[in-house]
Amino acid sequence: MVLLSVALALSGSLALFPGPSTTTTSVVVGAEVYNTFDGEGFPACNAVSHVYRPSTVDEMVELVKNASSQGIPVRASGNAHMWYDTMCSDDPETIIIKTDAVNRISDLQLNDGVGSVMIEAGATFPQVAQWLHERGAALGYTLVNWNITIAGAIAMGAHRSSLREDSQVSSAALAMDIINGQGELVHIEKDDSDTWLAATTSLGLLGVIARVKFAVLADYKVFSNQTTLSEDEVLDGDIFGMISPYVTANFWWWPGLKKFHLRTYGVVDIDSPGNAFQSTFSVTPFEGNTALTLLNSGQNLSAPNFISEGVFFGLWSAPNFHDKLTDFPLLTWPVTGFSYDVLIGGLYPNQLPEWDYDLHGKTLELAVPVTQGSALLKRVRELIDLAAADGKPVTSTYRSGINIKFGKPFDSFLGQTTERTTDGADWSQGALMFDFPSFVPTTGDHHRYNEEWCFPVRPHWTKNTRKVFQESLKNLDQDSLTRFAQVRKEFDPNGIFSSVVGEIIGVMN
């Protein structure tokens, strides 16, 4: 049994850095920072030489061919929904292929309620969902987040939250066209080969995912419901039993208040009334500016953070849904609407996302076996209590608390829910993902309230710092890493698609 000690930063805080949110949409030349969606001050790559924005798969092929012939490193990027500077390698010659304009959707096949669609690299969840809805189809339970690309989500092993349904995005991929390190378009299909096990969480290291054939369902409606639980009801409860009955369900933890929200979703008849539309990130100017002032004042003081948590908890107890047709807020649970609108939604009309008010976060996400979920949460509670006893009480200052998600087992070499492991842990019930947006202390030596603990944790590939990847390396399955590296070498012998993550986990050799 390989047990991993990961120092979890529990000193938690929401990092608040000023800076405009801008998106690079045209060609940038020269050594440039490539920022995340959070904008200036939030690099995804510390230095790149060019950002290209092609509009066809053929152009992407040509870009990779050219780069390959000159030994220039390449990274694809969708909408840069990254949290840290781990997208590229640290080579300033790196070019970015921004995929968002390569976004065609075609070939919908739907028979007896199931089928497939062909999507290009830059197509986002909302684009694909809307296109499908207009044609009586829908994505399944792999809807992760608003305005990110499906290919980017497949690359990083991103997932929704479900113990009942497959919810890792790559579980719905049926075939992929990948531009390899020589600039060749390689077609692969779902099977039980090492190639597919590598491609379903590739970290972009096999090449640019140019097209994906993706599974779809007939359009459907869902309800969303929410209830508040005490901390004891969850920590001492049957977590698997609370989550697994639903097509998707998750917890939000409010540690300062010792409460949890349990959010659940289920399918209802397509004729059910309701046009609920969810928004996780929409903020009015008043809300945005108030939150910023309050959280900023809590940079070195605990009280404002506890006040913020109380306010956020109150807001989050009501549905974060409007009626899509009237834009009126929905005031009571449950709410009902079309699948995409309820499972993800987007922005309310005339509102901006929170990061446009300089509300930024840093997070840490680790997966443990569901069988050890209660133990993990209890350990976190101990650490929080220890911090309080030290006179440095911890709370959550994110507007939706600490996000606790779940994943049914799905095998890929580098996925968070794979059962391909020799760590001796029981991953058969799936994984619990602990996603804690945490404070970055600005005082003293920037030391966080770290505590060592032992759990077989697996990192989310876009939600952790370099240090967390280094520490979690001990816990990744060696056979999977070796076999992943072999497939990687076949696709990209010269390692032009290298990234910081790939280097840290040792699959570039």
Ligand X SMILES: *[C@@H]1O[C@H](CO)[C@@H](O)[C@H](O)[C@H]1NC(C)=O
Residues engaged in binding ligand X (CB under 6 A): 23, 59, 62-63, 66, 79, 100, 124, 147, 223, 225, 227, 296-297, 299-300, 333-334, 347, 442-443
**Toward ligand X, which CB reaches closer, 350 or 443?**
443
Nearest to 343, CA basis, from 250, 417, 407:
250
Sign of CA dihedral 420, 426, 428, 430: negative
- Name the minimum Å distance from CB 114 to ligand FAD: 24
Distance CA 35, CA 212 (A): 26
| Positions 435 through 494 that interact with ligand FAD (CB under 6 A) | 462
Asked if 499 is part of the footprint of ligand FAD (rule: CB under 6 A), the reply reads: yes
- Name the minimum Å distance from CB 61 to ligand FAD: 13
Q: Are 414 and 206 in contact (CB under 8 A)?
A: no
| Positions 132 through 171 that interact with ligand FAD (CB under 6 A) | 144-145, 148-149, 151-153, 155-156, 158-159
**Hey, is 287 helix, strand or coil?**
helix
Which partner in ligand X, ligand FAD, none is near 63 (CB below 5 to 8 A by kind)? Answer: ligand X
Asked if 317 is part of the footprint of ligand FAD (rule: CB under 6 A), the reply reads: no
DSSP character for 372? G
Which partner in ligand FAD, ligand X, none is near 376 (CB below 5 to 8 A by kind)? Answer: none
Per CB under 6 A, the list member of 8, 51, 209, 496 interacting with ligand FAD is: 209
Asked if 496 is part of the footprint of ligand FAD (rule: CB under 6 A), the reply reads: no
Q: Are 199 and 280 in contact (CB under 8 A)?
A: no
Per CB under 6 A, the list member of 14, 16, 28, 75 interacting with ligand FAD is: 75
Helix (H) or strand (E) holding 487: helix 478-491
**Cα 301 off chain centre by:** 30
**Toward ligand FAD, which CB reaches closer, 116 or 403?**
403
Instruction: Specify the stretch interacting with ligand FAD by CB under 6 A; choose among 18-26, 71-79, 299-307, 417-425.
Output: 71-79
- Name the minimum Å distance from CB 376 to ligand FAD: 18
Tokens of 38: 């959070």
**Cα 137 off chain centre by:** 24
Distance CA 27, CA 159 (A): 31
Nearest to 145, CA basis, from 309, 329, 432, 353:
353
Q: How many helices (H) and strands (E) does the chain have?
A: 13, 24
Query: What phi and psi, each to the nearest 5 degrees, are found at residue 210?
Result: -95, -40
**Toward ligand FAD, which CB reaches closer, 110 or 457?**
457
- Residues paired with residue 36 on neighbouring β-strands, in sequence order: none
Which partner in ligand X, ligand FAD, none is near 99 (CB below 5 to 8 A by kind)? Answer: ligand FAD
Which partner in ligand X, ligand FAD, none is near 35 (CB below 5 to 8 A by kind)? Answer: none
**Toward ligand X, which CB reaches closer, 324 or 458?**
324
Asked if 283 is part of the footprint of ligand FAD (rule: CB under 6 A), the reply reads: no
Residue nearest to ligand FAD (CB): 78
Which partner in ligand X, ligand FAD, none is near 145 (CB below 5 to 8 A by kind)? Answer: ligand FAD
- Name the minimum Å distance from CB 344 to ligand FAD: 10
Distance CA 139, CA 130 (A): 10
Which partner in ligand X, ligand FAD, none is near 227 (CB below 5 to 8 A by kind)? Answer: ligand X
Q: Are 219 and 338 in contact (CB under 8 A)?
A: yes
**Hey, is 8 helix, strand or coil?**
strand
**Toward ligand FAD, which CB reaches closer, 131 or 449?**
131
User: What's the 3-state SS for 141-188?
Assistant: CCCCCCCCEHHHHHHCCCECCECCCCCEHHHHEEEEEEECCCCCEEEE
Which partner in ligand X, ligand FAD, none is near 412 (CB below 5 to 8 A by kind)? Answer: none
**Toward ligand FAD, which CB reaches closer, 439 or 449?**
439
Which partner in ligand FAD, ligand X, none is near 299 (CB below 5 to 8 A by kind)? Answer: ligand X
Q: Are 11 and 449 in contact (CB under 8 A)?
A: yes
DSSP character for 350? T
Q: Which residues bind to ligand FAD, rule: CB under 6 A?
A: 75-82, 87, 99, 121, 144-145, 148-149, 151-153, 155-156, 158-159, 204, 208-209, 462, 499
